[in-house]
Amino acid sequence: MPTVLLTGAAGYIGSHTWLALQSAGFEVVGLDDFSNSSARVLDRLKELGGRTPVFERASVTDAAALDGVFSRHRIDAVVHFAAFKAVGESTAQPLSYYANNVGGLVSTCEAMRRHGVKTMVFSSSATVYGEPKYLPYDEVHPLAAMNVYGRTKLFGEQILRDLEASDPAWKVAWLRYFNPVGAHESGRIGEDPRGTPNNLMPYVTQVAVGRREFLQVFGGDYDTPDGTGVRDYLHVMDLAEGHVAALRHLLEQRASATVNLGTGSGTSVLQLVAAFERASGRPIPYRIVERRPGDLPAFWADATLARELLGWQARRDLAAMCADSWRWQSRNPTGYD
Ligand code: UDP
Could you tell me the domains of the chain?
3-182+233-264+298-315 (3.40.50.720)
Mutate to test the pocket of ligand 1, among 199, 212, 261, 322 (most ligand atoms within 8 A of CB): 199
User: What tens digit of pLDDT does each residue of 257-292 get?
Assistant: 999 999 999 999 999 999 999 999 999 999 999 999
Percent of the chain with pLDDT over 90: 99
Please work out whether the CB of residue 96 comes within 6 Å of at least one atom of ligand 1: no
- Residue 197: the pLDDT is 97
Please work out whether the CB of residue 243 comes within 6 Å of at least one atom of ligand 1: no
- Residue 227: the pLDDT is 98
Please work out whether the CB of residue 160 comes within 6 Å of at least one atom of ligand 1: no
Q: What are the DSSP calls for 242-275, one per residue?
A: HHHHHHHHHHHH---EEEEES-S--EEHHHHHHH
Q: For the chain, what is the mean pLDDT? A: 98
pTM: 0.98
Ranges of residues in the chain whose predicted pLDDT is under 50: none
- Pick the residue whose CA is nearest to atom 23 on ligand 1: 295
How far does residue 198's CA lie from ligand 1's centre (Å)? 7
Q: Which atom of ligand 1 is found nearest the CA of 201?
A: 20
Please work out whether the CB of residue 200 comes within 6 Å of at least one atom of ligand 1: yes
- Residue 138: the pLDDT is 98
User: What tens digit of pLDDT does each residue of 136-166 get?
Assistant: 999 999 999 999 999 999 999 999 999 999 9
SS3 227: coil
- Residue 71: the pLDDT is 98
- Residue 104: the pLDDT is 98
149 is catalytic: yes
Please work out whether the CB of residue 216 comes within 6 Å of at least one atom of ligand 1: yes
| Cβ atoms < 10 Å from Cβ of 57 | 13
Going by C-beta distance under 8 Å and a sequence separation of 6 or more, which residues neighbour residue 78?
A: 4, 5, 6, 7, 108, 112, 117, 119, 120, 121
Please work out whether the CB of residue 336 comes within 6 Å of at least one atom of ligand 1: no
Report the alpha-carbon distance of residue 145 to residue 155 in Å, rounded. 9
Mutate to test the pocket of ligand 1, among 131, 221, 231, 321 (most ligand atoms within 8 A of CB): 231
Instruction: List the catalytic residue out of 149, 203, 222, 233.
Output: 149
Q: Which atom of ligand 1 is found nearest the CA of 268?
A: 15
